[in-house]
């Protein structure tokens, strides 16, 4: 079954900030576009197999709701799966070297 993807404001905001950073760092438009296309293909694949990535026990304990984590290159994507309404909510996007705020 296919799940609907829901990009949270936090996810899109962080992604926009990262794209701005890449632009300001002088990364070529071609490279950014290619990376972004791969990211979208990756997130869209969650609509078919959302539970293939492990549960993030730290976020799950902090929020009280099962949260999963997926690696995309050097980035970590956090998301939730709701089987009742067949939705995958993308919550967070962070570079692997960034620290989580606690």
pLDDT tens, residue by residue, 47-99: 999 999 999 999 999 999 999 999 999 999 999 999 999 999 999 999 866 55
In a domain, 77, yes or no: yes
In a domain, 14, yes or no: yes
CB neighbourhood size of 89 (10 A) = 18
In a domain, 84, yes or no: yes
Alpha helices in 1-102 (DSSP H): 9-24, 29-45, 57-63
Strand order in the sheet with 68-72: 4-7, 87-95, 75-82, 68-72
In a domain, 46, yes or no: yes
Total count of domains within the chain: 1
In a domain, 101, yes or no: no
In a domain, 8, yes or no: yes
Residues in the chain: 102
Map tokens 């620290």 to a residue: 99
Residue-wise pLDDT for 10-42, tens only, equals 999 999 999 999 999 999 999 999 999 999 999
Q: Which domain holds residue 64?
A: 4-95
Q: Are 4 and 88 in contact (CB under 8 A)?
A: yes
pLDDT at 102 over 50: no
In a domain, 88, yes or no: yes
Question: Residue 18: which CATH number?
Answer: 3.30.2310.20
Question: How many Å apart are CA 20 and CA 36, to the nearest integer?
Answer: 12
């Amino acid at each position: 079954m296919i799940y609907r993807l829901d990009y949270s404001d936090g996810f899109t905001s962080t992604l926009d900030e990262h794209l701005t950073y890449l632009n300001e760092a002088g990364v070529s438009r071609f490279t950014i576009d290619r990376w972004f296309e791969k990211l979208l293909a990756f997130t869209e694949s969650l609509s078919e197999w959302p539970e293939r990535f492990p549960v993030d026990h730290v976020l799950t304990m902090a929020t009280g709701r099962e949260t999963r984590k997926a690696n995309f290159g050097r980035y970590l994507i956090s998301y939730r799966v709701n089987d009742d309404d067949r939705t995958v909510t993308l919550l967070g996007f962070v570079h692997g070297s960034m620290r989580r705020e606690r």
